[in-house]
Amino acid sequence: MQTVTVARSSVVAVRRERVLDAAEVVLAEVGVAATMDDIADAAGIGRRTLFRYFPTREELIAAAIERRYQRLDEEVFDEAHLEADDPDELIRRVLTTTHRVAAQMGKAHWQVAADREVLNGLGAAAAARQRARRRYVKRFTDRLWRLSDGPGQPPRWLADTFGLLESLFTYQALRLDFGRSEAAIVDLTCRLMTEALHAALAEARAAGPASSP
């Protein structure tokens, strides 16, 4: 009986992931106006079946958005990135991946990031995005600080700087308002992040062991 239950749970998990795959595609194209019918059609299942996996549209959209950021986190912090030999290399690897993913994120992520009024009850999606970004930014900043032999903990403003430079807002502003290519955006944000790191290290070392973030 237990074997049957485990097998059934496995099937449900696989189907749920397929629904999220379909939801990501639809949300990228349509945005948060996507309906359950849109997503069910893309997943190749009926509307009733879709509701078995996600009781509400809001829950489905929040799950799809949070999973996208979780995948970004996994991709950025894979073994190749974590084995970077120096801080500059880590910064370039991470920001290259971040901005490449930003180019693919699509309409819904931009709507959730840019305009809370458009959410129409999708507060869970905004909260999921916020949680995922905070984890991601902290993880990168802590790793960068350790790799740089920084004393104590990294200053909060260094994490804030990375959060700004890796953000979808920065990517979209540079691409749409100033016509910068993805490669140019990576070069600029890497340069600024490197300068911020050097300033943070100098500040922390000058302050001595009693300094705090």
Report the pLDDT value the prediction gives residue 162, as an integer from 0 to 100.
Answer: 96
CA distances for 205 relative to 79, 157, 159, 181, 209, angstroms:
30, 16, 18, 36, 8
In this structure, is residue 213 part of a structural domain? no
The model's pTM = 0.74
In this structure, is residue 182 part of a structural domain? yes
Round to whole Å and give the CA distance between 166 and 186: 9
Report the pLDDT value the prediction gives residue 20, as an integer from 0 to 100.
Answer: 93
In this structure, is residue 212 part of a structural domain? no
**pLDDT lower than 70: segments of the chain:** 1-9, 76-83, 113-122, 209-213
In this structure, is residue 129 part of a structural domain? yes
Given a contact cutoff of 8 angstroms between Cβ atoms, the answer to whether 145 and 66 are in contact is no
Domain count, the chain: 1
- What would the pLDDT profile of 56-94 be if each residue is shown by its tens digit? 988 898 888 888 877 777 776 665 566 678 999 999 989
The CATH number of whichever domain residue 175 belongs to comes to: 1.10.357.10
Helix axes 57-76, 123-147, angle to 10 degrees: 10
In this structure, is residue 109 part of a structural domain? yes
In this structure, is residue 34 part of a structural domain? yes
Q: Which letter does DSSP use for residue 154 in this model? A: P
Domain that holds residue 94: 2-206
